[in-house]
Chain A
Amino acid sequence: MKSASDATMMLRTPFHSRVAAACELNAWGTWKGYTTPTAYTDVELEYFAIRSTAGVFDLSPMNKYRITGPDAEAYLNRLVTRDVSKIRAGRVGYTVWCNDAGQVMDDGTIFHLGENDYRVCAFARATDWLHWSALGFDVEVVDESDEVAALAVQGPTSCAALLAMGLVGLEQLKPFGLTMFPFEGGTLMVSRTGFTGDLGYELWIAADKAELLWDRLFEAGRPHLIKPFGSDALDMARIEAGFLQAGVDFVPAESAVRSGRSRSPYELGLGWLVDMDKPVFNGRKALLREQARGSRYRFAMLDVDGNKPASHSFILSGGKKVGTVTSAAWCPTAKTNVAFAQLEMPHGDVGQELVAEIYYQRELQWTRVMAPCRVIGAPVFNPPRRRAVPPGAF
């Protein structure tokens, strides 16, 4: 039994010794109580490592749940909006899950590891909900967040770096595929997934082999200009790639105190993840009703004029407030000023012209900009190398 006061309660990921050594800026934040770097050397340069060479991100604090047992597939199918039977063994699926009211609790990935064996990777903690969901199913739900360490290796040279580490045949792995390699008497799982919209992989390993993995990776990756990156650079990359983040772009449904603050998959632009052919899944009845009655909001990606990030801006149409910005960034690769917005229906058709009311500050002087912007239909960054098999030489 661990005592709570025997530690400082500052949690460290299994990579901490290596992360700390690399974190030259000494810029730390916390993620779920874990000490994690916001930046290692320079946010801009870290971002460009993702886009031009290979960046490494420690995502160990992510919540990982192992689902096993004869009903594992049926269980997951009832839990999430997607049809899990279509995620074959060796594949990974991105999905959302809702409460009964059809409101999104979180998004995440499902790893089909083998027969009746899955891992759910989630941003928000989900133990309670996963256990309630297990009523009536023959499954076992285990929180393995602390036992599994994970690194994201993202960018054009990521495949080359990993091949140099000896992961033979990795170039054949398709996007959203996963494969296993022996590693120091254990198993290294590699999935072709990520949160940057680029060619990239995620490595999953038992916590006790984490430091060794880091060392091997950086040793093999040096010629491929591999570099660690922190949460600030990741945020730029994910906005450029059009990825939502729980707690930022939507409020996880069961933590919303005020009524009307949560969102459905349709309202987050994730309706494509909802499979109404499944007879029962969480939120189905409410989502059918929403289909019939119409949604309240629409998620929109905006291309904002000028170079001032539209963080926390009001979005106006005809001088009237019709929405707010949840995430925004100047995207250096796409050279676009992107914002994610929650718009009231019926706004948000692709091509609609709107205005972002942006406030920014230079040397304590605040300036307001009414920046024209328009709704765009696809993320501004989506290179072919992200999908190519084999990914090719950079």
Chain B
Amino acid sequence: MTDKLDVILIGAGHNGLVCANYLAKAGRKVLVLEAGDSPGGAAASREFAPGYSVSSCAQWLYQLHSGVSRDLDLERHGLQWAARELPSLLLDTRGRHLSLLGSRIDGEGVSDGDREAWRAFHARTGKYVKLLARVFESRPPNLVEAGLVDRLNLLKMGLGLKLLGRDDMSELMRIILTNMYDLAEEYFDNPQLKSLLGFDSVLGSRMGPRTPNTVFTYLYRRLGEAYGYNGVAQVKGGMGALAQALAASARARGVELRLGARVTSIDMFNGRAGGVSLASGEQFRAAVVVSGADPVTTYGTLVGLRNMETGMARRVSQIRCAGAAAKLHLALNAAPRFTGLDESQLGQRLVIAPDLNYLERAFNAVKYDEYSAAPALDISVPTINDPGGAPAGCHVLSAIVQFAPYEPAGGWEGPSTAAGATHREHFTRLILDKIAEYAPGIRDQVVACQLLTPQDIERDYGMRGGHWHHAEMSLDQVLMMRPFPGATQYGSGLDGLYLCGAGAHPGGGVMGLAGRNAAREIIRRGARA
């Protein structure tokens, strides 16, 4: 079959498809091998109950890089919006919600002082977001063995820092390693505002708002602002539709995409990656192999730790990639009724996280491999803006739930403290109870229910640990330390093998930069058959 491949790319996740697209655009012959039956990886839509489908992993789009969308011409390839510029609502049991969209803040309890403080805070942090966004658009620089590109990037970074001005620069250097809890306390009075900021800073992470590092994850979350987003957006047809557009664009460029092709090993030839073997027994050879899979899978399973040097194997085994977020899907026979929300607000991003201490306590559990007794939730009712996902008049509720351990003691199917209930059942009940505090009567509307634990996410999407970001977005695992020192700038540290997934710089989120930056780096290094 396909002789003279330049590149074999493992995994048709969004980063893989973006990377393949850019490589093909530069004239490389690329074969993408995807284990699943549809492209997209964690950008997927699935039917979880008859007639009900949902964006089964990622649910909002808020940071897809504008340059990537433009270069790939995604709208021409079928990307449509169900809704854009959706605010985030921090829910209140009495219906006194707080609404946040960009610098705009609304809510009953918001004082003028907080309003002013928020505007100032939003503007100042917005500058940091822009600076970060620029850093993320290029490969992470080497500092010691810096080449010309690195020196230029460093110069740009340094210049960007200086251009912030003395005050903003020193403030950035003060806060960048700190936690959102203290920062929010420093700036604001309104507990709802503080909590929403706290929530955004820990979403998808194994961190609580008091965890130093959460200011960085907060800024990371806001990256989309530099790429043209304000608030979150919802893709028509769910994230699976985005995947279809990405796949269509890649195919149009000449990328060959094979679905149902599970790669079982990356084959090394005299210490160099030069091909892959599939579960079917088929083998392919190419000048370079690019992996969009998470780093632990890439190194540990596909290459095999024995095929690299001990220090590297040790680094791989020390990557922290245990997920802490679960996903709950509810099939509802009618629109849910949240206290104090009208129909239009129901389509917005609904957050349950009453205050910072609540959030912190929810986090405590996962440190000990337990799930939160009172979890925090990021809820979407996608069928409000996009009714196609459920039978007429019916609705889907999809929620990111924090915090859930990778595996509680005894396993998810093991017995919990609640009589007769497994951990899975018990946690599901706890989440429903929590939602019901805000949407009384929701239990009677539930037709079907699915809980995806980190372990389920690992199984369904091939992400080790079930972590959305492939590896924790902690400061010791970003930039040149992502996924680990020695495997930076998209080169894996192994000849012939490159990384293009969320486990590489800049990290997770449906952003596409890891894929694009990787493609540029591969082209720069000139690998061809």
- Footprint of B on A, CB under 8 Å? 71, 74-75, 78-79, 99-101, 129, 132-133, 135-137, 279-285
Contact = CB atoms under 8 A, between A and B. Distances in A.
A132 B306 contact: no
B317 A135 contact: yes
B417 interface: no
Nearest to B312: A100
B310 A280 contact: no
Contacts of A75: 306
Contact of B305 (A136, A282, A283): A136
Interface string B294-324: 0000001000111111111110010000000
A56 B469 CA distance: 61
Contacts of A285: 271, 309
Task: Give 8 nearest A-B pairs by CB, closest first.
Answer: A136-B305, A100-B311, A136-B306, A279-B271, A133-B310, A135-B305, A100-B309, A135-B313
B149 to A, nearest CB: 20
B486 interface: yes
Contacts of A283: 309
Given A78-B306, A282-B310, A285-B309, 8 more contacts: A74-B306, A79-B310, A100-B311, A135-B306, A135-B314, A136-B306, A136-B307, A284-B271
A101 B307 CA distance: 16
A279 B310 contact: no
A283 B310 CA distance: 9
A281 B317 CA distance: 18
A282 to B, nearest CB: 5
A243 B311 CA distance: 28
Contacts of B486: 100
B207 to A, nearest CB: 28
B2 interface: no
Q: Which of B308, B309, B486 has the most CB of A within 10 A?
A: B309
B309 A280 contact: yes
Contacts of A71: 306
Contact of A282 (B269, B271, B300, B311): B311
Given A279-B268, A279-B270, A284-B271, A132 B310 contact: yes
B300 to A, nearest CB: 8
B146 to A, nearest CB: 17
A75 B304 CA distance: 13
Contacts of A74: 306
A285 B497 CA distance: 14
Contacts of A99: 310-311
Interface in B21-59: none
A280 B314 contact: no
B212 to A, nearest CB: 27
* Chain B interface size range: 10 to 19
B253 to A, nearest CB: 34
A99 B486 CA distance: 13
Interface in B303-360: 304-314, 317
How would you classify the secondary structure of chain B's contact residues: helix, strand, loop or mixed? helix
Nearest to A128: B314
Interface in B189-216: none
Nearest to A136: B305
Contacts of B306: 71, 74-75, 78, 135-137, 280
A281 B313 contact: no
A132 B314 contact: yes
Pick the most buried of B311, B312, B486: most chain A CB atoms within 10 A of its CB.
Answer: B311
B271 A136 contact: no
A136 B270 contact: no
Contact of B307 (A100, A132, A280): A280
B268 A136 contact: no
Contacts of A135: 305-306, 310, 313-314, 317
Contacts of A137: 306
B310 A78 contact: yes
Nearest to B307: A280
Contacts of A133: 310, 313
B432 to A, nearest CB: 42
Contacts of B305: 135-136
Contacts of B309: 78, 100, 280-285
A79 B306 CA distance: 10
A100 B311 CA distance: 6
A336 to B, nearest CB: 40
Nearest to A100: B311
A99 B268 CA distance: 21
A135 B268 CA distance: 18
Nearest to A71: B306
A132 B317 CA distance: 9
B143 to A, nearest CB: 14
Contacts of A284: 271, 309
Nearest to A133: B310
A129 B271 contact: no
Of the listed residues B305, B306, B310, B311, the one surrounded by the most CB atoms of chain A closer than 10 A to its CB is B310
Most buried by B among A74, A129, A281, A282: A282
19 contacts: A78-B310, A79-B310, A99-B311, A100-B312, A100-B486, A101-B311, A129-B310, A133-B313, A135-B313, A136-B304, A136-B307, A279-B270, A279-B271, A280-B268, A280-B271, A280-B307, A280-B309, A284-B271, A285-B271
A281 B308 CA distance: 8
A284 B494 CA distance: 11
A284 B495 CA distance: 12
B277 to A, nearest CB: 17
Nearest to A283: B309
Nearest to A278: B271
A280 B313 contact: no
Contacts of B312: 100
Contacts of A280: 268, 271, 306-309
A259 to B, nearest CB: 11
A74 B307 CA distance: 10
Q: Which has the most chain A C-beta neighbours within 10 Å: B268, B271, B304, B312?
A: B271
Nearest to A102: B309
Nearest to A285: B309
A143 to B, nearest CB: 17
A136 B486 CA distance: 19
Nearest to B269: A279
Contacts of B271: 279-280, 284-285
A129 B307 CA distance: 16
B243 to A, nearest CB: 33
Interface string B481-511: 0000010000000000000000000000000
A132 B300 CA distance: 13
Nearest to B272: A279
A280 B300 CA distance: 16
B297 to A, nearest CB: 14
A135 B308 CA distance: 10
Interface string B393-436: 00000000000000000000000000000000000000000000
Contacts of B268: 279-280
Contacts of B270: 279
Nearest to B314: A132
